[in-house]
Each structure stands twice: as structure tokens, then as C-alpha cells.
């Protein structure tokens, strides 16, 4: 079918000055087909090993360059519109019929061809010259072209498409995917947080009983998947001598071991406050930027100068917490140091007392995180700002100082923002998850707190922490929920300023 397709492109002589070029292209492709036909007779086992490796490299170049030619052809065929004469409703449907491809494959080919034509001219040139592969192109299309901000960044002279293509030529597609993800998070942190939020809603797990056992199926986001994978690998351990089980069989045994260990402990969620199984590495400047990017703990004011009223149906929207004194958009903040507060913010911090109204904002200002180096998981996977805030909120922090050539100069003791005695005090006060209509007990709970307060140098206080179940702790960070403490009560607001109330409080 590919031969027929080529013939269709090469026909119609006499259409203008480019007709000779089209005819030559048809002739060149016919020559390639003839060469491939002759190669079918080659006995590769008879070829010298080193020579075979060289030939394989040539074959890789041929595949890459033909992929570039094919993408250019597809973009042109779609543009000229003749495909519609075949009666297909979409170009993807035409391609699927023409090439016997699956719907997913045809859709992917069309997306790549369009992106190379409209958004990635340097990648198109690199693919046509065999300097990068189709997999590199797929990474760019999936991760570097999805938002307006990312597409605008591609035109940047220093950190745009030219930079990404240059990196692609030096690394495999897997490593390149992590680099592009890091680039994308630094360029558009708001979109990265939104993607994490949407991935969380797609998580699912089914456990179906069959005639002779259970069938397990599902999907997890990056953070959950790494947590489960790390736990399973820890239970799998090193393969013992004489163990003839496959990795899949050992993984199934590890999952069963995890479940039995949880049941044997007799306390669901035991040790939920500590996450020793997941390591995230972040530069100190990244953590500083994260702390400075969250909303101010000082209650914001309205246009008339009145403070937002805790418990009102509307208030404490994220933009207001950003622009409040001490927030990332504080109009009175005039220094480049995000840890130096404006005079009004500093005065509020100095006079605040336990029991006074204050805000725990989870929303993160994407402007403040734009261009900031993302934190990474153990395998180098970059972490969006909102996910990092979630992890920082309920983690143990260790300081590691590196010297030249990554030499470890100093390692600090593992610390938590909230020590154990304060955690016990918060649990004794709140008793259960404080989100309206949730009654999860402390055993499934975690402490959510203000990162801003830590940045501003305020004393750690139980007033700054709230008991949430792990599910609602994720929810607060993923959806930028603002929590207000006033007169001994907690109030929850959406990022748009709508009060979240229990069902029995709704009228």
C-alpha cells in the first residue's frame, strides 16, 4: 500500500515549475524500494559482526530520514485537500484506511506531521537529516507544544527549540523526555500543576474476581506509581539463588506481602505521617521559590480596605492571597529577595499571636515558579510545583551540601517542620480530618501547614497546622484550597473564593 501511496504523490506531471522535482522524488523512492528488495536476499549471519553494526547504524539513519520525508508528505497531503475526495470525514481516517494503521497510530502520525510543519521547524530539519529519531519528535510534540506559553518559549533564542533539539542529539529518548518535562515545568508551572491535578482524577484500580482467582488492572499517576513501585521493589528484595520466579511473579508476591503486613499491623495507615520510601531532591533555591510562591498568611483585604470575612460565602480567592502583604505579588515588595518581607507584612508577622486570624494558602503563583529548576524524584522525573508543595508539607527534610564534582561536603540531620509533640497536640485538638463532611480518624491523617510561615521566619505553632486525611491533603494541594483559621474554627475556600461547607450547613 505504501507503493500505491507514493505513486499517487508522484503523478500529475506538468503542474508547474515543481513538476520535475515531484517526478524525481517518485524515481528516488522507487530506487530505494529496489534496493530494499535486493537486501531481502542478504544473509546477515554471513556478515562480519563489526560490519553488521555499521550497517545497522546506516539502517537507523535511513529509518529516521524516511520518517522525516513521510511527515513532510503527510503535512502536504493534508494541506492540498485531495484526500477528501476519497469520501473520508477526517484526514486521520483517510490515513488509517490508506495505510492499514490503527486509529491511534494514524492519529499520532498526523499530530506529529502537523507539529513539525507548524511548530517545530528545527526538529523537522533534524529528523530529515537523521540527527534525531521519531521518538524524540514524539517527546517534543507531547510535552513541548501543549500550551501557548510552551509554544511561545520554543521561539526563545537560548532555551527554545534549538536548545531542545541540540539536547535531543546527545541523549536517548527516555532521558530526553525527562529533560523536556523539566523544561516544560519551568516554562509553564501552572500547566504542570493542572496536568498533575487531572492525572489524579484518572487514577483507578479494579480487582475483579474470576473463576480461578483475581484480575488486577488500573492506572496511577507518576507520584502514586513511584510510591507503589518502590514499595513493591523493597518487598521483592534481591532474587535468591534458585528462585526461578519471573519478575512479574515476584512482584505479585510482594503485593500480597504488603497487604498481609498492613493487616497484621492491626492499625490501618500506621506510620502514615512518614514517607521514607520516596526521595525527592530539590535545590535550596527551588524550595525558597516554592515558599515565596504560596499565598500570604495575612488575611487579604477588599477594594474598600476591609479584611475578607472568615465564613463569608465569598472571599479568600487565590489572587487575593497572592497580592496580600507577604504574598508573591505584594505591591509593596520592592527587593529581589523573596524572603525579605514588605514593611506591612513584617509588621503583621511581628504582632501576630496564636488565636489571631491567619490563612494557610495552598495555591501556588505560577509567575513566581516560572523559570525555576524543578525538583526531581530518584529517577530524575521532574516534579510540578503543586506536587512538590504536597510532598514538602508532609515529609522529613535533610540538608545535603555538595562541592565541586558533586562531592558531598555536609549532611544535616533529618528534620520535620512539625515535631512529634506538636503533631500530637494538633491531633488532640482536631480529632479527625477537618474538611467538611469528612470524619476520617487520625490514623489516616496527616498535618497540613503553611509553607509561607516557615519562609517568613515565624515560630512554629500548632495554630499553623491542621489535621487532614491523606485524600483531602492531596485534594487541598491539587486544587489550591485556601484554609482560614479564625475564632477557633477552620474555613475552606476554593481557589475562586467560594466557601466550602458541610451539607448540613447548606441552605
pLDDT digits (tens, 9 = 90+) for 440-486: 887 767 888 877 665 655 556 788 889 998 778 888 998 999 999 99
pLDDT in tens, 22-31: 558 888 888 9
What is the C-alpha separation between 192 and 386, in angstroms, rounded? 8
pLDDT in tens, 332-357: 888 788 778 888 888 888 888 888 99
482: which 3 cell numbers?
Answer: 485556601
What is the C-alpha separation between 492 and 324, in angstroms, rounded? 18
pLDDT of residue 141: 96
Write the DSSP string, 111-173.
HHHHHHHHT-HHHHHHHHTTSS-HHHHHHHHHHHSSSHHHHHHTT-TTTSHHHHHHHHTTS-H
Grouping H, G, I as helix, E, B as strand and the rest as coil, residue 483 is strand
Continuous segment of H or E residues that includes residue 108? helix 103-118
Q: How many CB atoms are closer than 10 A to CB 360?
A: 26
pLDDT of residue 69: 94
pLDDT of residue 452: 67
Question: 13: pLDDT confidence band, cut at 50, 70 and 90?
Answer: very low
pTM recorded for the entire structure = 0.73
**In this predicted structure, which of 90-104, 244-258, 370-384 has the lowest mean pLDDT?**
244-258
pLDDT of residue 118: 95
Query: Which residues are paired to 213 by β-bridges?
Result: 210
**In this predicted structure, which of 170-174, 328-332, 501-505 has the lowest mean pLDDT?**
501-505
Distances (CA, A) of 402 to 397, 399, 410: 16, 10, 7
Instruction: Return the residue matching grid coordinates 504582632.
Output: 351
pLDDT of residue 451: 72
What is the C-alpha separation between 401 and 124, in angstroms, rounded? 42
What is the C-alpha separation between 244 and 222, in angstroms, rounded? 30
pLDDT of residue 104: 92
- Round to the nearest angstrom and report the end-to-end CA distance of the chain: 66
What is the C-alpha separation between 505 and 493, in angstroms, rounded? 15
Continuous segment of H or E residues that includes residue 448? strand 445-449
Task: Tell me, letter by letter, the H, E, C secondary structure of 264-302.
Answer: HHCCCCCCCCCCCCCCEECCHHHHHHHHHHECCCCCCEC
If we measure between CA atoms, which residue out of 362, 390, 324, 359 comes closest to residue 463?
A: 359
pLDDT of residue 101: 92
425: which 3 cell numbers?
Answer: 497536640
Q: Is pLDDT at 398 greater than 90 in this prediction?
A: no
CB 115 within 8 A of CB 144: no
What is the C-alpha separation between 208 and 215, in angstroms, rounded? 5
CB 353 within 8 A of CB 345: no
pLDDT of residue 439: 82
What Rg do the C-alpha atoms of the chain give, in angstroms? 29
pLDDT of residue 138: 96
% of the chain at pLDDT higher than 70 = 84
pLDDT of residue 2: 39
Q: Is pLDDT at 487 greater than 50 in this prediction?
A: yes
Supply the angle between the helices 385-393 and 189-202 in degrees, to the nearest 10: 70
CB 436 within 8 A of CB 501: yes
Query: Which residues are paired to 205 by β-bridges?
Result: 218
Instruction: Return the residue matching grid coordinates 499553623.
Output: 464
pLDDT of residue 341: 86
What is the pLDDT averaged over residues 281-288?
87
If we measure between CA atoms, which residue out of 340, 334, 285, 294 comes closest to residue 457?
A: 340
Q: Is pLDDT at 125 greater than 50 in this prediction?
A: yes
Query: Which residues are paired to 498 by β-bridges?
Result: 314
Q: Is pLDDT at 402 greater than 70 in this prediction?
A: no
**Highest mean pLDDT, choosing among 114-123, 274-283, 357-366, 389-398:** 114-123
pLDDT of residue 20: 53
**In this predicted structure, which of 215-229, 400-414, 487-501 has the lowest mean pLDDT?**
400-414
pLDDT of residue 319: 92
pLDDT of residue 24: 83
Question: 418: pLDDT confidence band, cut at 50, 70 and 90?
Answer: low
CB 250 within 8 A of CB 236: yes
Amino acid at each position: 500500500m505504501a507503493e500505491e501511496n507514493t505513486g499517487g504523490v508522484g503523478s500529475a506531471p506538468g503542474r508547474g515549475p515543481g513538476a520535475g522535482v515531484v517526478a524525481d522524488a517518485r524515481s528516488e523512492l522507487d530506487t530505494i524500494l529496489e534496493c530494499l528488495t535486493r537486501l531481502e536476499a542478504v544473509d546477515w549471519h554471513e556478515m562480519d559482526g563489526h560490519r553488521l553494526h555499521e550497517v545497522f547504524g546506516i539502517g537507523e539513519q535511513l529509518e529516521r530520514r524516511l520518517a522525516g520525508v513521510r511527515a513532510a508528505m503527510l503535512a502536504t497531503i493534508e494541506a492540498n485537500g485531495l484526500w477528501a475526495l476519497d469520501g473520508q470525514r477526517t484526514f486521520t481516517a483517510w490515513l488509517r484506511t490508506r495505510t492499514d494503521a490503527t486509529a491511534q497510530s494514524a492519529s499520532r502520525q498526523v499530530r506529529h506531521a502537523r507539529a513539525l510543519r507548524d511548530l517545530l521547524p528545527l526538529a523537522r530539519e533534524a529528523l530529515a537529516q537523521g540527527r534525531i529519531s521519531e521518538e524524540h519528535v514524539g517527546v517534543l510534540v507531547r510535552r513541548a507544544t501543549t500550551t501557548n506559553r510552551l509554544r511561545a518559549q520554543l521561539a526563545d533564542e537560548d532555551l527554545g527549540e534549538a536548545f531542545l533539539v541540540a539536547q535531543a542529539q546527545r541523549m536517548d529518548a527516555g532521558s530526553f523526555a525527562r529533560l523536556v518535562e523539566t523544561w516544560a515545568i519551568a516554562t509553564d508551572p501552572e500547566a504542570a500543576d493542572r496536568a498533575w491535578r487531572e492525572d489524579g482524577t484518572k487514577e483507578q484500580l479494579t480487582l475483579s474476581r474470576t473463576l480461578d482467582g483475581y484480575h488486577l488492572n488500573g492506572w496511577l499517576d507518576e507520584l502514586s506509581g513511584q510510591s507503589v513501585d518502590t514499595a513493591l521493589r523493597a518487598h521483592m528484595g534481591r532474587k535468591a539463588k534458585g528462585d526461578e520466579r519471573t519478575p512479574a511473579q515476584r512482584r505479585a508476591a510482594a503485593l500480597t506481602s504488603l497487604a498481609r503486613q498492613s493487616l497484621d499491623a492491626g492499625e490501618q495507615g500506621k506510620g502514615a505521617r512518614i514517607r521514607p520510601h520516596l526521595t525527592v531532591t530539590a535545590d535550596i533555591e527551588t524550595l525558597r521559590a516554592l515558599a515565596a510562591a504560596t499565598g500570604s498568611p495575612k488575611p487579604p483585604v477588599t477594594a474598600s480596605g476591609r479584611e475578607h470575612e472568615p465564613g463569608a460565602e465569598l472571599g479568600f480567592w487565590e489572587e487575593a492571597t497572592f497580592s496580600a502583604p507577604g504574598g508573591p505579588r505584594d505591591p509593596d515588595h520592592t527587593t529581589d529577595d523573596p524572603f525579605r518581607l514588605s514593611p506591612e507584612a513584617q509588621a503583621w508577622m511581628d504582632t501576630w499571636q496564636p488565636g489571631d486570624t491567619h490563612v494557610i494558602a495552598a495555591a501556588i503563583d505560577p509567575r513566581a515558579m516560572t523559570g525555576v529548576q524543578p525538583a526531581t524524584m530518584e529517577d530524575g522525573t521532574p516534579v510540578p510545583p503543586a506536587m512538590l508543595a504536597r510532598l514538602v508539607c508532609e515529609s522529613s527534610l535533610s540538608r545535603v551540601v555538595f562541592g565541586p564534582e558533586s562531592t558531598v561536603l555536609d549532611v544535616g540531620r533529618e528534620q520535620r517542620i512539625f515535631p512529634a509533640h506538636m503533631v500530637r497536640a494538633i491531633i488532640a485538638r482536631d480529632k479527625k480530618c477537618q474538611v467538611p463532611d469528612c470524619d476520617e480518624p487520625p490514623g489516616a491523617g496527616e498535618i497540613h501547614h503553611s509553607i509561607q510561615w516557615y519562609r517568613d521566619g515565624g515560630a512554629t505553632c500548632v495554630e499553623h497546622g491542621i489535621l487532614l486525611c491523606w485524600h483531602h491533603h492531596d485534594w487541598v494541594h491539587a486544587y489550591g484550597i485556601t484554609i482560614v483559621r479564625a475564632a477557633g474554627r477552620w474555613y475552606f475556600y476554593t481557589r475562586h473564593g467560594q466557601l466550602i461547607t458541610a451539607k448540613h450547613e447548606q441552605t
